[in-house]
Amino acid sequence: MMLHWLARERWTIHSWWLLTSLAGLAALPLCFSLLKALPDQGYTLARALGLLLTGFLFWLGVSLGFLRNSPGSILLAWTLLAGGALALYRRGGQTTRLRQWWRRNRRFVLVAELLFLLALLAMVALRAHNNSLVGTEKPMELAFLGSALRSEVFPPADPWFSGYAISYYYFGYVLLAMLASLSGIGSTMAFNMGIALLFALGALTAYGVAGNLARSRTGSAGWRSGLLSAACVTVLGNWQLPLVELPWQGGLGSNAWFAFWGQHDRLAANVMPAGTQTPVGLSDWSFWWWWKSSRVLTDRNLDGSIAPIDVITEFPAFSYLLADLHPHVLALPFVLLVMGLALSIVLARRPPDRARLMLNAVAVGGVMFLNAWDGPICLLLLTSAEGLRRLRESEAGRLTQNQLLATLTFGLRIGLLALLLYFPFFLSFRSQAGGVLPNLQHATSLRQLFLVFALFAIVLGAWLLLEARRAGPTLNRRLLVRVTLLAPLAIVALIAVMALVGSRLPDTADLLQGYLQGSASTDSLVSPLLQRRIAGLPVLLVLCAGIGLALARLFPAATSRDAPSDSQPSPGAAFSMLLLAIGLLLLLIPEFAFLRDVFNSRSNTIFKLYYHAWLLFSVALAWAAGSLQLDVADERLGRALAVLTAVAILPGLLFPLAGVYSRALVENGRLNAGRPLPLTLDGGPGFIGTDDYAAIRCLETVVGDRQAVAAEASGPQYNQYFGRTGTLTGIPVVLNWEGHQRQWRGANWDDLRGSRPEDLDRLYRSDSVAEVTDIIELYEIDFVFYGDSERRRYGNAGEALFRDHFETMCQSGESRFYRVARMSGAELRNP
C-alpha cells in the first residue's frame, strides 16, 4: 500500500523537493558572497533564504501591480533572484573555489541533504496516514492558503468576508501557494505538503545554524551538533509526558505526585471506575492525550480558582504533530535563518556592508510578515550579534559609547529598511494588540517551568556553570550579583508602577479590575498580590541568575595577563551565551507584563515568547552539549556530563514516538480497520459531507480563475461546516468565523460587519424576489449555496424562490449552487 501511494503521489513530493532545491540554488551565489564567515558559506541556509527572497520579489511585484499572481510571475521572481545573486557573486571578485569548498564541506553537506530528504519523506508519510484538515484552526489556514492561490492581487481576498482583504500576516501562505501553483496541486493537498516542507526545512536550517556554530570551534565536524539541534527543533518534546501524562494515563502515581506538578486536569491520580481495567496501551489512552503537553502552565486567580484561559506552552514537535499551518509554524525555518545571519555577523571580522544590511532587513521584515511576534525578537538578535562582534574587538572588554551607538544605529537601520521593504503589508495591517498590561496576579511555578524546558535547563545549566568555572577571575561577579538580586526587585517595582499608572488611565482601569476578577477594593488586593509575587520569586531568581551568568561571562570584570588563555569565551561560546540570555529574557517578560489582546490574558504572550525561546535554546544546546564533552579536562567528569546530557535528551523522545503512533494509527482507526485504509495527502474529501464537497469542487471548476462571491450560512468558529466554499476554494463568502474576524480587524469590527448576519438570514428565508435581489446586489453575490448547513439553519422554505427565478448549477444530491448575478454563461467553464 505504501509503494502504491508513493507511485501515485510521488510527483507532488518530488516537485516540492525540486522547487525548494531550485530556490536554494538561486540563492547560493548570494550566500557564497555575503555569508563567507560561516564555515559552509551559507549552503545549509540557502533553501530557506531562496524561498524567502523569491517569495518577497513575487509578493512585492504583485502588490505593486507589476506582476500577476501566476506561475509565470513566480518563475520571473526566481529568475530575478538567480540573476541578481550571480551578478553580486561575480562582482565580489573573490569567487569560491568549489573544489576546495567541497573538500572542506563534503560530509557536512551530504548529511544536510540526506536530513532534508528523509525529514520531508517522514512527515509526508505521517500526513498521508492522518491527512485530516478538520479541527483547531486548520479551516482558517486552509482558507487563507486557498485565497493566496486564487487572488489576482495581494493582499489576498478574505475568503470569509467578501469585499475585504485578509487582515493578517499572510506571507507564509503566499510562499506555500507559490509551490502549489508551480506543482499544479490544490490547497487541500498543498496544506499537508506545506507541513512536511516546513518540518524538513526547519530540520535543515537548525542543522545548518548549529552545525556552523560547532564548526567555528577548531577541529569540530559540526554534523553531530547540527543533528542534535535539528532533533530539538523537530522531534523532541517537553517532560510533561514522562513525568505527568504517562503515569496519569497508566493509573500510576499518587494524588500528591500530581498535586506537586499542579497541571490543570491532572491535579489528582487517574482513578478508573470499579471493574474497569487501567489503560496500559497507547491505544487505550484518552483522545488527544498529547494535547496536554502544550498546556503545562496553570494560572490561578487570586481566589485560587483556575484561570478561564488556558496558558499555551506549545513547542515545535507538538506543532508538527498537530499539523496546523499557523504563522508561528510558517515562520519557524526563517527565524532559524535569522539566527544563521546573526552567527555570520559574529564570526565576521568587519562590520556588515550595505548588501549584508539589506539582506538582514529583508529577512527581519519577512519574519515579521510571517509572524509579527518574531520580528522584534529577530531584530534584537541581529543587533545584539553586531554588539557582540564589536565587544570581541574591544580591548577594554566592554562596549564604548561610540560602539554602543554604532550597534544601536545598525539595528535601527535594519528596522527602518524592513518597514520600508514591506511597506505595502504594514500599510494595511491591523492587529488586535492594544498595548502592554502588567502581570499582577499570575506567577509561573518553577516546577511547571521545568516541565516545559527541562531538556534545556539541565544541559545549558551545566554548561553555564562550566563556563563560569573556566572564566576564573575574569567572571564579572559584580554584574552577576546585580542582575540576579537587583533585577527581580526592579521587576516587582516595575509591575507596581505599571499597575499604578494603568489604574489611573480610563482605557486600562476597567481592564485591570476585570483582570483581577472584580475585587471589591484596592486594599483587599495587597495581601494576595504580595503573596503571588513572593511565590513567583524562585522563577525570577533562576531566570535572572541565568541571564546574569551569561552576561558576566560575556562582559569580563577585567583583562589580565595572568588570566588563563581560555578565560575568554570563543566566538561560538559567546554566541551561544547570547542566544541563551535572549531566550531567558523571553521567559522572564511574561512574569511582569503581557501584550493586551481580546483575551486579556498572558496566554498568547507566553505562547509566542516561549516558542521562540525554544528555538534559541535548541541552537545553544547543540554547542553546550559539545562543550561539555570537548572542553572538560577531567575524563571522569566528562563521562558524567555525557550521561547527564543523555538523561536530559532521552525523555524528550517519548513524545514523538508515542505521538506519531497515536496520530497515525490510533486516532483514525487504522489499527482496528478491517482492511488497509488508503493513504493520500489530499485531506479535502473527508473535510465535509460528500455532496457538499462535490458541489463546491464543481463551482471551483466552473468559476476558474475569475473573481466571484458566494453566499452560504455563517457559523461558529472551529466548525468546518460553515464558510466551506471559501475554505476549500478561496472564493469569498459573505461572512464566517466572526470571533476570529474580530481578532484580526480590531475594535471597529462591528462597524465593518454591519448587518451581514441579518442580511444572510433574510437572503435564505425571504419570499420576496426584490428583497433577495437587493441583498445580492449589496454584497455582489454571484452564487448562493444550498447545502446541508443551510438547510439545518434556515430550512427549505426559502429555496423555492431560487429554484423558480435562478439557474441551478453544480448540483450533487441535494447540495446545489444557484447562479444569481453578474457572470454570464460565456464566462463560466463547463463543470
CA distance 547 to 584: 6
Mean pLDDT, all residues of the chain: 89
- For the ranges 54-68, 254-268, 364-378, 665-679, the lowest mean pLDDT is seen at 665-679
**Is 343's pLDDT higher than 60?**
yes
pLDDT for 635-693, tens place per residue? 888 888 889 999 999 999 999 999 999 999 998 888 876 677 789 999 999 899 999 99
pLDDT for residue 69: 96
Which one-letter amino acid corresponds to residue 88? L
The single residue listed with the C-alpha cell 516542507 is 197
8 Å CB contact between 425 and 156: no
Helix (H) or strand (E) holding 786: strand 783-786
**Is 94's pLDDT higher than 70?**
no
pLDDT for 36-48, tens place per residue? 999 999 999 999 9
Confidence of residue 717 (pLDDT cuts 50, 70, 90): confident
CA distance 627 to 649: 16
**Nearest one of 795, 785, 792, 781 to 815, comparing CA atoms:** 785
Between 422 and 253, whose confidence is greater? 422
8 Å CB contact between 786 and 801: no
Confidence of residue 566 (pLDDT cuts 50, 70, 90): low
Rank 75-84, 596-605, 765-774 by mean pLDDT and report only the highest. Answer: 75-84
Q: What angle do CA 111, 117, 120 make, to 5 degrees?
A: 135
pLDDT for residue 142: 96
Q: What is the mean pLDDT of residues 83-102?
A: 83
Percent of the chain with pLDDT over 70: 91
Cross-strand pairs, 306: 300
- Cα–Cα separations (whole angstroms), residue 769 to 133, 424, 670, 772, 778: 38, 42, 51, 5, 14
pLDDT for residue 518: 45
pLDDT for 180-210, tens place per residue? 999 999 999 999 999 999 999 999 999 999 9
pTM as predicted: 0.94
8 Å CB contact between 339 and 28: no
Confidence of residue 304 (pLDDT cuts 50, 70, 90): confident
pLDDT for 433-492, tens place per residue? 667 878 878 889 999 999 999 999 999 999 999 999 888 888 999 999 999 988 888 887
811 phi/psi in degrees, rounded to 5: -90, 135
Identify the DSSP state of 592: T
Whether residue 352 has a cis bond before it, omega within 30° of 0: no
Q: What is the mean pLDDT of residues 512-529?
A: 58
Which one-letter amino acid corresponds to residue 33? S
**Nearest one of 723, 686, 684, 691 to 810, comparing CA atoms:** 691
- For the ranges 124-128, 284-288, 605-609, 824-828, the lowest mean pLDDT is seen at 824-828
List the strands of the sheet with 710-711, edge to edge. Answer: 710-711, 783-786, 815-819, 807-812
pLDDT for residue 728: 96
Confidence of residue 273 (pLDDT cuts 50, 70, 90): low
CA distance 37 to 23: 22
**Is 585's pLDDT higher than 60?**
yes
Between 549 and 279, whose confidence is greater? 549
Backbone Cα Rg of the chain: 28
